[in-house]
Structure 1
């Protein structure tokens, strides 16, 4: 679609006496008008989709007045006259070609099929309608009209060369965009075209979502117009600002941020030479021990390379090292290798507890590292998070001392942060009545594929106590088929088919197997059947997820699994009764881990041994499991020690 006209100077023209900023699009519109293009077509090509054809008609009249007035001011008398001539004032007297003239016989059949005229009369009529000079060329009037039309086009070209303006970065958005859109942009804090370009670059292709009442169609028109004038604006919108993030693969050049100073990710950080750590006060002076590390950035990269135990661990270590380096450079104005014990104690005890100034250090959650709005924090750190940061940085310091990079570890004397129990389970589980409400809200007489998946997820989580990542990664290949005493496998779904187990890979420790109640396995069989797969898990591919996306069949991510349970809790709060009311605020904060806590509480209350629960949950220490023990017992479960309610 051709670029739309710069709307602020073309919309609502009846309220203006002239157009203050003429563009090439204005001249293209008026040139089409003079050439006789229908106003309907001009409106479809250049007009605003939110207005009707009358707006384009008014604009054409305003352009006529503006152009003739400008020609009058420049004393271009010819242009003043010619640009006010309407289409049709210079008729196109095109002569008929010889091939278009009918023969005398054809003419006789059309005008005198009954032979009323004599041959002489018919020839006279024919010559009067199709004069002989028509075949010899254009007459003098046609020549004059053609010359007049050329002069009209030349006059328009002269006016375009002298009057047209190109948008500049410092021009107000109100000078180029339609008033309604410009007003909404200004309300968001976008006042100039440079502001608009920067706003789009910062927020990516869905930038319009941050502007009230600007949708994707209007945003597309604005972006197209900015691209049309990229030369005069001296800025071409980047690929990252135009292409959805999901279409950019990891490592795409569009995602790479240039090296720069300030609060930026460590991979894009440019550190001034004087504080890069090469001459830090805490650099080791033992020349007898080799050290290939020269700067703090090199030291951090080398340390992180030795800590690639898991993606989660690597991210946590990088995050803490990155925060410390950025704080040292930007707040203390010194190298990380120049920090002393007092600096490190203040970092843990004061700065992490409340990163200030917040506008510089704290950003919104879930912003990509490649985004210019990325910040190292999403808020103040809890005592436990600060203690974790201290432990990680202490370990980094010890490693740097061992590598002969630091002379001593400045975190050695940083006091530990006082914290409570490692797991806070208070207020994060459901009593039996509340659990019944959750199950009742998820149960159906007839299930859709999605509802069956959610109901299975609820029962599987409650009966096993799995973490959300373990639920997301559970597959048919990890189900262990029950066997009879003679070692033969039982038939799927038979009455004697008891003892199904699910293998869970180890998290820091050995793998474990968890019994899965038969009632839950019945839901597994039914879910596989609903997905068009064999009811027998052993007949499915080993990587078939037990809890799959209901449209694609792919495994759910841990975050996707969390969304399943948040939806279940939200639906429960809607259907709660006064007797089993789940507080809406609690439901809003509920997560998959609530089911894990509920499983543990209910299992212990029903008399299950603590060590059995410890193995089922995958706790390394029994003390962690004992956190779930309550002094007051609330009774037994609905279906024994398994913790699963009967499937409905």
Structure 2
């Protein structure tokens, strides 16, 4: 597992969330392989991937112990394996099946056990992806003679249409945020700059929190963000966001900056780099002040930005570049959103609907 973790983080360069999810899935797979079906009592403590992450239900860094320390593992319901002899490091391996015996039937049995335990289609799709990644690595590393992963089929996850704000609701939310910043409180200035930049650029919450002061090009109104897989991209933002960022840098940030701030653009109340959990709370509170608005978080602002761009005439390829999607298929989800909204408007307004 240590080798697989290094493969994920150093060779594949996956995000910490994805690495933690895959490692937790493989621990569950190996527990099933070693001790048989674990039953529905096993709790999955892994995070969901970012694409899925349209719901925003992703655990924050630090909530779960890092893998390799006190990692949560599945607790077998059958008899425990023999205890390792005191003078041997891996004395229990003799009682466990050899990893080379991991085949397609074992993978299918594990997924069936997960499904019986109530795992959703999205979770099953991710776990199947984790299993394929693991067996592919294990085969290359010499732990498996043959890779059964490519033959492992899984159900496609349901693509749910994300909740988005109407353009007038987004404008009302920005006005509410601006009124709070007008008082000059440093935290209110920061919060206003956060929501303006999120909505203007469509960046992810982790990308926003990772911004440094030097990543903002004020003359061109462009932010340089570090996306998934260590990929950098430049995202433009508008005049209102530029005004909010300048107000924060000139009148807000100097009041919170400390030795721990370093070059971080957005700071917490104690001066350190801003935590994504704070951003989620800020956005939820701001959207909650708008009557009739859906209860969305930072990812909802990202969805809203993409939807409003498409409704305004932007082409799909440009929106893909702005959002940093690896494939156009992910961006196409927003075309479904706009079509559904057009249908709803048609039903309400057309006399022959």
Do the two structures share a fold, i.e. TM-score over 0.5?
yes
Q: Do the aligned partners of 2:280 and 2:297 also contact (CA within 8 Å) in 1?
A: yes
1:400-479 to structure 2, matched below 5 A, reads: 400-421=138-159, 424=160, 426-444=161-179, 445-479=182-216
Q: Deviations over 1:92-121 (max 9, x none)?
A: xxxxxxxxxxxxxxxxxxxxxxxxxxxxxx
Cα offset for 1:616?
Answer: 1.1
**SS of the counterpart of 1:353?**
helix
Q: Which residue is 1:383 aligned to?
A: 121
Q: Which residue is 1:317 aligned to?
A: 22
Where does structure 1 differ by over 6 angstroms across 4 or more consecutive aligned residues?
Answer: none
Structure 1 residues 393 and 321, CA gap change in structure 2 (3 angstroms): same
Q: Deviations over 1:232-271 (max 9, x none)?
A: xxxxxxxxxxxxxxxxxxxxxxxxxxxxxxxxxxxxxxxx
Cα offset for 1:467?
Answer: 0.4
TM-align CA RMSD: 2.8
Rounded to whole Å, the distance in 2 between the matches of 1:633 and 1:417 is 28
Rounded to whole Å, the distance in 2 between the matches of 1:510 and 1:386 is 28
Q: Does 1:307 align with 2:8?
A: yes
Cα offset for 1:324?
Answer: 1.0
Cα offset for 1:354?
Answer: 4.1
Rounded to whole Å, the distance in 2 between the matches of 1:561 and 1:514 is 19
Q: Which residue is 2:46 aligned to?
A: none
Rounded to whole Å, the distance in 2 between the matches of 1:463 and 1:474 is 15
1:157-196 to structure 2, matched below 5 A, reads: none
**SS of the counterpart of 2:234?**
strand
Q: 1:504 aligns with which of 210, 221, 225?
A: 225
Structure 1 residues 607 and 393, CA gap change in structure 2 (3 angstroms): same
Rounded to whole Å, the distance in 2 between the matches of 1:400 and 1:632 is 44
Q: Deviations over 1:60-114 (max 9, x none)?
A: xxxxxxxxxxxxxxxxxxxxxxxxxxxxxxxxxxxxxxxxxxxxxxxxxxxxxxx
How many corresponding residue pairs? Answer: 272
Q: Do the aligned partners of 1:605 and 1:633 also contact (CA within 8 Å) in 2?
A: no
1:291-306 to structure 2, matched below 5 A, reads: 300-306=1-7
Q: Do the aligned partners of 1:468 and 1:592 also contact (CA within 8 Å) in 2?
A: yes
**SS of the counterpart of 2:264?**
coil
Q: Do the aligned partners of 1:328 and 1:336 also contact (CA within 8 Å) in 2?
A: no
TM-score, structure 2 as length reference: 0.68
Q: Deviations over 1:570-597 (max 9, x none)?
A: 343xxx2xxxx23xxx42xx22100000
* Bigger relative contact order, structure 1 or 2 (CA pairs below 8 A, ≥6 apart): 2
Larger radius of gyration: 1
Rounded to whole Å, the distance in 1 between the matches of 2:322 and 2:115 is 36
Structure 1 residues 409 and 570, CA gap change in structure 2 (3 angstroms): same
Alignment gaps of 5+ in structure 1: 1-299, 356-379, 483-498, 535-540, 635-648
1:458-607 to structure 2, matched below 5 A, reads: 458-482=195-219, 499-508=220-229, 510-531=231-252, 533=254, 543-549=262-268, 551-572=269-290, 576=291, 581-582=292-293, 586-587=294-295, 590-607=296-313
Alignment gaps of 5+ in structure 2: 38-77, 79-95, 343-353
Structure 1 residues 327 and 336, CA gap change in structure 2 (3 angstroms): farther
Q: Which residue is 1:344 aligned to?
A: 107
